[in-house]
């Protein structure tokens, strides 16, 4: 894919090396994608930058161990942008850390994967973090849809985001993984709320639901953005399928690969 602009990937992971068998829940999704080696070896960011260059990716948003992500972002300024990965079990600590990483390390968003805490996005435990995002003018990114790791999937129902968007109309919300298998719910919520966006991380274009692609080209053309979930899914594996399986106009393709992300995360 030859483009005259750089691509923005809004969901990548910093994974520390893992001992085989130590975390069966986390291993499960990497096994299903045929990427267990990546899970065991962890994210090699220098190699990641090389692969980004070959794929035409200008910027990658990354979450994981927050201190590690901050170091990586400092080493690769403008290429890696941090996202604060929250542990809401100590809510005031998380609120203060979110502010620290945004102000001191240039992080652009909060990322929460609700299944890790077995609490749906409308649980009051998260609300102080949503409010702090509004105060700091940073984006909230979350997992929707089923869980690849071995946790219950109920926390990923997109309809929970409907209520969060109503309670926080100033909060920009990016929902990862297209909401599958509840993609129709995700479409409806993003169509309803001006502040709700969708990223397509961990899904290959050839498997996007037909109705999702239909709305990508129409009412949601300003709402959907590319993401990989690297190192779970290699950049080229997704980008190599965009033209053949999505058949987007040049204008909509640029929105999908770059412009929507820059707007949703205020990267300018």
Structure tokens at 82: 């941090």
pLDDT of 88 > 90? The answer is yes
Q: Considering only CA atoms, which of 84, 85, 130, 132 is closest in space to residue 105? A: 84
Instruction: Specify the higher pLDDT residue, 268 or 210.
Output: 210
Q: What is the mean pLDDT of residues 250-257?
A: 98
Percent of the chain topping pLDDT 70: 100
Q: How far is CA 106 from the centre of its chain?
A: 17
* Model confidence, pTM: 0.97
Q: What is the mean pLDDT of residues 221-231?
A: 98
Please tell me what DSSP assigns to residue 259: I
Pairing of strands 196-199, 80-85: unpaired
Quote the pLDDT of residue 1. Answer: 75
Neighbours of 240 (CB within 10 A): 16
Neighbours of 23 (CB within 10 A): 13
The CA-CA-CA angle for residues 109, 111, 112, to 5°, reads 150
3-state secondary structure of 199: strand
Quote the pLDDT of residue 258. Answer: 98
pLDDT tens-digit series, residues 38-82 = 999 999 999 999 999 999 999 999 999 999 999 999 999 999 999
Phi and psi torsions of 86, nearest 5°: -90, 140
The CA-CA-CA angle for residues 137, 268, 167, to 5°, reads 25
Domains annotated for the chain, with CATH where assigned, are 7-264 (3.20.20.140)
Residues 156, 143: Cα–Cα separation, whole Å: 6
Quote the pLDDT of residue 268. Answer: 80
pLDDT tens-digit series, residues 135-154 = 999 999 999 999 999 999 99
Q: How far is CA 244 from the centre of its chain?
A: 23
pLDDT tens-digit series, residues 152-175 = 999 999 999 999 999 999 999 999
pLDDT of 267 > 80? The answer is yes
């Amino acid at each position: 894919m030859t483009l005259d602009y750089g691509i923005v990937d809004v969901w990548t992971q910093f994974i520390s090396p893992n001992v085989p068998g130590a975390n069966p829940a986390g291993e499960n999704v990497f096994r299903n994608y045929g990427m267990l080696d990546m899970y065991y070896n962890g994210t090699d960011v220098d190699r990641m930058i090389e692969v980004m260059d070959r794929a035409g990716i200008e910027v990658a948003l990354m979450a994981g161990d927050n201190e590690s992500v901050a170091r990586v972002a400092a080493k690769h300024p403008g290429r890696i942008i941090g996202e604060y990965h929250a542990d809401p079990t100590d809510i005031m600590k998380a609120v203060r850390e979110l502010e620290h990483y945004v102000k001191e390390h240039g992080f652009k968003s909060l990322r929460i994967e609700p299944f890790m805490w077995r609490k749906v996005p409308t649980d009051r435990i998260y609300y102080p973090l949503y409010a702090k995002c509004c105060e700091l003018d940073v984006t909230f990114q979350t997992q929707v849809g089923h869980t690849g790791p071995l946790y219950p999937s109920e926390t990923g129902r997109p309809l929970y985001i409907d209520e969060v968007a109503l309670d926080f109309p100033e909060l920009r919300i990016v929902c990862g993984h297209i909401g599958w298998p509840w993609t129709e719910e995700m479409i409806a919520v993003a169509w309803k709320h001006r502040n709700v966006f969708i990223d397509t991380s961990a899904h290959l274009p050839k498997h996007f639901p037909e109705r999702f692609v239909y709305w990508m080209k129409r009412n949601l053309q300003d709402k959907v953005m590319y993401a990989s979930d690297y190192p779970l899914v290699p950049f080229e594996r997704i980008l190599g399928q965009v033209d053949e399986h999505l058949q987007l106009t040049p204008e909509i393709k640029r929105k999908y690969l770059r412009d929507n992300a820059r707007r949703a995360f205020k990267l300018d």
